[in-house]
Amino acid sequence: MTSLHVRGVRASYGPTEVLHGIDLVVPSGSTTAILGPSGCGKTTLLRVVTGFQTPTAGSVALDDETVAGDGSWTPPERRRIGYVAQEGNLFPHLSIAANVAFGLPRSERKDTARISQLLELLGLDAGLMGRRPDQLSGGQQQRVAIARALAPRPRLVVLDEPFSSLDTGLRAATREAVAEALHHERVTVVLVTHDQAEALSFADQVAIMHDGHLAQVGTPLQVYGAPADRRSARFLGEAQFVSGVVQGHQVDSDLGVLELDETAPEGRVDVLVRPEQIRLTREDGGLRARVVSTTYFGHDALVSLDLVGPDGSAGRRVVARVNGSEAWAAGTPVAVQVVGAVRAFPDDATADG
């Protein structure tokens, strides 16, 4: 297994710098998702790692071997990096077996044992080997593309938005099969995506990118539960910020007195409250609210609420995430409770973007 080390990498297109000093370590045998909006520099970083683009500064190393920077340069074909594009890019005129075998040494291309093993590992019947790509579904084609990348036993596999062209149900099943295959092969993986759920569920480590910078690197639990700034918090899911005043390890807010996840300076702050932290009951007492509307998604629902002041007037609006089996009609009076600790940010919205 191989670790990836990106140190101080900068990259430009003409006079425009796209990457501004990227530092990232992908531990051996782990999966790191690089997550960010379109145009943030994710694909450029991928191109630098794979060797399709030369960095203007910094270095890229696989274990102790520098493959770019510091006076070294290894061409893409010698880096032993498996690359899977969004559309898979299978050769339409070749059979599935020939596609998977393409990256193998010529002496091994007729040995179907490795090809059959990879297809079965990815949940595909070895009987598909004689078919052509256009005879497979989109999900099957993408699994074949993964098999082709794994066939020569690469040091690193890079996945560039590999599931984005698949529909929701197929995407989840394909992602699960691919994750199992990668784990079985004990390969180091870099996934580039703009899909928050995909990054959080697929990766051991998530690197959030904004405007050519890495804003935060951590486990899925860390980046979602303790985002480094407001922008990252919003990008990772539904986020609402409630004003309050810090008093010791608590903050007095519109949603009541809440526990802080870490010490914050005394004074005014905004606190991040995720919708799933808000619990609703029909019991009397506690913080009162009234249901405004419910957006139903099947497995869950988002409920918009107006908090109710002591005089019965409508206060600020918040959103709760509830189980899809719960029915909350507009106008229903409810009691609101926040569970879990919350994260505080300076109340100046310009402080962290």
**What does DSSP say about strands 188-193 and 81-84: parallel, antiparallel, or unpaired?**
unpaired
pLDDT at 352 over 80: no
pLDDT at 174: 85
Q: Report the amino acid identity of residue 142.
A: Q
Question: What residue ranges of the chain are covered by domains with CATH 3.40.50.300?
Answer: 4-234
241-346: CATH class: mainly beta
Give 26: exposed, middle or buried? Use CB within 10 Å, 0-12, 13-18, 19+: buried
Q: What mean pLDDT comes out for the span 223-229?
A: 94
pLDDT at 353 over 50: no
Place of tokens 């989840």: 172
**What does DSSP say about strands 300-308 and 287-296: parallel, antiparallel, or unpaired?**
antiparallel
pLDDT at 234 over 90: yes
pLDDT at 124 over 60: yes
pLDDT at 331 over 60: yes
351 confidence band (pLDDT: 50, 70, 90): very low
Specify the higher pLDDT residue, 112 or 87. 112
User: Using CA of residue 76, residue 77, residue 80, residue 81, what is the dihedral sign?
Assistant: positive
348 confidence band (pLDDT: 50, 70, 90): low
Question: What residue ranges of the chain are covered by domains with CATH 2.40.50.140?
Answer: 241-346
148 close to 100: Cβ distance less than 8 angstroms: yes
pLDDT at 129 over 90: yes
**Residues in contact with 217: Cβ distance below 8 Å, sequence separation at least 6, in sequence order:** 24, 205, 206, 207, 208, 223
Q: Report the chain's mean pLDDT, rounded to a whole number.
A: 91
76 confidence band (pLDDT: 50, 70, 90): very high
Q: What mean pLDDT comes out for the span 224-235?
A: 93
Q: What is the DSSP string of 95-142?
A: -HHHHHHTTS-GGGTT-HHHHHHHHHHTT--GGGGGS-GGGS-HHHHH
CA distance 76 to 80: 8
pTM above threshold 0.85: yes
User: Using CA of residue 194, residue 199, residue 205, residue 206, what is the dihedral sign?
Assistant: positive
pLDDT tens figures, 278-288: 999 987 777 99
pLDDT tens figures, 265-277: 888 999 999 999 9
Superfamily (CATH H level) for 4-234? P-loop containing nucleotide triphosphate hydrolases (3.40.50.300)
pLDDT at 20: 97
Q: What is the 3-state secondary structure (H, E, C) of 172-206?
A: HHHHHHHHHHHHHHCCEEEEEECCHHHHHHHCCEE
